[in-house]
A and B are shown apart, each in its own frame.
Chain A
Amino acid sequence: MTQKLKPVDVVVVGVGFMGAILAKELATEGLSVVGLERGKQRWTVPEFHAPDIHDELKYSIRKGMMQDVTREAMTHRNSLTQEALPIRQWAAFLPGTDLGGSGVHWNGQTFRFTEADFVWRTRMHERYGKDFVGRSLTIQDWGVTYDELEPYFDKFERLLGTGGKAGNLNGKIQPGGNPFESWRSREYPNPPMKEQYGGVLFRKAATEMGYHPFVQPSSNMTRPYTNTEGLQLNACNYCGFCERYACEHFAKATPQTVILPVLLSNPHFELRTEAQVLRVNLDKNKKRATGVTYADATGREFEQPADLVIVTTYALNNARMMLLSGIGKPYDPKIGEGVIGRNYAYQTTGDVYVFYDESININPFMAAGASGTLIDDFNDDNFDHGPHGFIGGSYIMSALTNGRPIEFHPTPPGTPEWGKEWKAAVRRHYNHTAHMLLHGSSMPTRTNYLDLDPTYKDAWGQPLLRMTFELPDNDVKMTQFCMDRAVEIGRRMGGKTVAGYPRKPPFTTQKYQTTHNTGGVIMGSDPSTSALNRYLQSWDAHNVFVVGASAYPQNPGYNPTDTLGALAYWSADAIKKQYLKKPGPLVPA
């Protein structure tokens, strides 16, 4: 028996970074907003404090902050002909749960996508021709441009307190920054992070080779900062426990440190935790949402009517929520039609280890989640792909986010994987190994997509999400090319041994790569190839907005969060300035 609750203006499904931003913007307008979070409340005080928050076994190995796979897993297969099986332990990617979502355990790496990224299909066709790109890659333009989003990038970075050095101020290239970045209207709110010693060695080698190294933009505070919501953050002390962990110092920009306290003090906002949203409900014409149905911690079902439904449940769950709710036509890979589940993409990563002799001390434990030094020379639209036969690219970054004892023990190729010799090699190399990360683009294909699993169900009896994903040939070529460049840099850095591990098929869910899952509910200008219009509004139900990296038509070689924050503010602005005045489609279909 579902209990029907009193209607509200807005229901926000999932209270993570994007949910908090949308809820705050709309509650400030005076709308009654209910935030439904499937997980529990958690705060810097009393939940995040040393030494417990540095429990590597609990958080890194047993994935203490991630979606509970015993209740809500997902399945994966590499191709249409395989049977998908449930992922029983998160490894490749780590979707978060509880208040603040994945925004609590992120690393703080804060890159903007570029002007080219938002018009990717047009740009690639113009530069290399349609035949070069080929028909197997289903790349698309976003329907929104960088210039339109710039003020919203700026707004999000000032919320976060991002530290960095501008490389392009209003079109003028700045020394010390990334010369390949798109224009920004002003400097970062905070200075860049301190460079790690591996980064110093990398910078020297990369400069000698004619590349353009710079310090990674970071939302780990580089000095005390009061953000645009009036919240105070403390300076990071480089403890090396960012990703997979919560920050105990109020030093990482997370929903808890940059926005949630302000949201929760707004009388128009109500937070309900342990509220598992089962579906968005539609009216009988299936053109308008009437609210959502959720189950509380005891399993009791409630219907929450609302005029506006904002779905911010993480990219993968957003696609599933749309499929479970029957909003938008599910994508069919056999005919390439339909929109929900379309253009699922990932991030093509790789690792390089540079092994030094014992005179070079790297001190890997002196680290933050975003204290790398990198080059952007082989990423994005920044070099001529003509001779190489692929599109996209990777940044190459000297970075160690930690030197934690269970996970960090680099050994050179040929070292036994266990026993006395392995232990000796770990001792020998622990403090004398630099690391480079390849962080590369992921291009969509016709057969990489998301749908509902025909066999497996969650704890509430609903079908799990099924991911069909294999590394596209384009990305395999791309990552090998970038790996060759990275190994050259590693040799120049003076390593005795340089070992590169490029990503190769088959894609496996059992090795950590990155939690940058994108697509599935993509934005665009054409309702037949996108689920959302340029304001993240559903083409099919105008009072449903879906905010997440699920909106990305393809995934460039940069970390997704900054662009996501910009899109969230862009979407919120469109709702406030246009939709509330005249509810209906903001773009004619």
Chain B
Amino acid sequence: MKLNRSITIAALSVVAAGLLLTRAFAAGSPKADVQRGAGIVANGTGYGVVACARCHAFDGAADGSGAFPKLSGIPAYYLAKQLRDFATGERSDAIMSAIARKMKPEDIADVSEYYSGIRATPTPPPVAEPDLLALGTRLATLGDQKKEVQACESCHGPGGRGEAPAIPPLAGQYAHYVAFQMRMWREGYRKNDANQQMANIAKRLSPEDIQAVGLYFERLSPTDPAKKSR
């Protein structure tokens, strides 16, 4: 059963990718090869780049553990920057750094273009304590005056849809992953944004705050990349 479902999704995705390819050419955008990207995502390369789908799934939904982020619908610019940062050491990760170092510039462009145009199968939202969700909603939409922290959505967009190309969407992202990244910013392991914006914010948030905003965003529906102007 599971196999059949994957094949169906893969087939649909190839159709979607084909549509995107047509549009990309029509819009005269850079010549990222979405089909080639899909190939790398599914199979990896012959020179040591493992298939992205192993952890992130072919549709970008990852596995729900929260250890790996959802990649579907994230702007190609942002994904490509992260891969380059993994390769140069600007951002570091035990798994991704080694993979990104083996990727050629066109691999990065093609894979990023592929994931940016895919819509993952929606997963049921996590259950949340009402008080925790209220805290997350408040931080995400209004911020915290005492902590001098602005609303997450002031940069990450209304409904967490992101501000393409540089600011990633958070809607639908796994709460565990968001919380993990926030801790990385706070502890100084991650610092690859402009002006240390995220580190600055993460340092002022409590573990509860971080958990709360993660939950808020995971419960939002991701924007359909087909409907989004890119």
Contacts and interface: CB of A to CB of B under 8 A. Distances in A.
Given A51-B158, A235-B196, A46 B142 contact: yes
Contacts of B200: 224, 232, 234-235
Given A234-B148, A234-B200, 10 more contacts: A46-B142, A49-B154, A50-B157, A53-B154, A232-B200, A234-B150, A235-B197, A235-B200, A248-B143, A249-B150
Contacts of B49: none
B144 interface: yes
A224 B197 CA distance: 8
Nearest to A221: B195
A50 B195 contact: no
A45 B144 contact: yes
B1 interface: no
Contact of B151 (A45, A231, A261): A45
Contact of A223 (B151, B153, B157, B195): B195
Contacts of A43: 145
A462 interface: no
B214 to A, nearest CB: 19
A43 B143 CA distance: 11
Contacts of B142: 45-46, 49
B155 interface: yes
A44 B148 CA distance: 8
Contacts of B195: 222-224, 235-237
A50 B148 contact: no
B194 interface: yes
Nearest to A236: B195
Contacts of A564: none
Contacts of A249: 150, 154-155
B188 to A, nearest CB: 13
Contact of A237 (B148, B155, B158): B155
A233 B150 CA distance: 10
Contacts, number: 68
Is the interface on chain A under 10, 10 to 19, 20 to 34, or 35 or more residues? 20 to 34
B194 A50 contact: no
Contacts of B155: 50, 237, 249
Nearest to B144: A45
Interface in B136-171: 141-145, 148-151, 153-155, 157-158
A49 B145 CA distance: 11
A344 interface: no
B220 interface: no
Contacts of B151: 45, 49-50, 248
B67 interface: no
Contact of A44 (B141, B143, B153, B157): B143
B132 interface: no
A232 B154 contact: no
A53 to B, nearest CB: 8
B201 interface: yes
A250 interface: yes
A235 B158 contact: no
Contact of A248 (B144, B148, B150, B157): B150
Contacts of A51: 158
Nearest to A238: B194
A46 B143 CA distance: 7
B42 to A, nearest CB: 36
A265 to B, nearest CB: 11
27 contacts: A43-B145, A44-B143, A44-B145, A45-B143, A45-B151, A46-B142, A46-B143, A49-B141, A49-B142, A49-B143, A49-B151, A49-B153, A49-B154, A50-B155, A223-B195, A223-B196, A224-B195, A232-B148, A232-B204, A234-B200, A235-B200, A237-B194, A237-B195, A237-B197, A248-B150, A249-B154, A261-B145
Interface in A6-43: 43
B201 A234 contact: yes
Nearest to A257: B148
Interface string A243-254: 000001110000
Contacts of B154: 49-50, 53, 248-249
B113 to A, nearest CB: 22
A223 B157 CA distance: 22
Contacts of A231: 148
Contacts of B148: 44, 231-234, 250, 257
Which 5 A/B pairs are nearest by Cβ-Cβ distance? Answer: A235-B195, A45-B145, A50-B154, A45-B143, A49-B151
A44 B196 CA distance: 20
Nearest to A43: B145
Nearest to A247: B150
B220 to A, nearest CB: 15
A543 to B, nearest CB: 35
Interface string A32-75: 00000000000111100111010000000000000000000000
Contacts of A248: 143, 150-151, 154
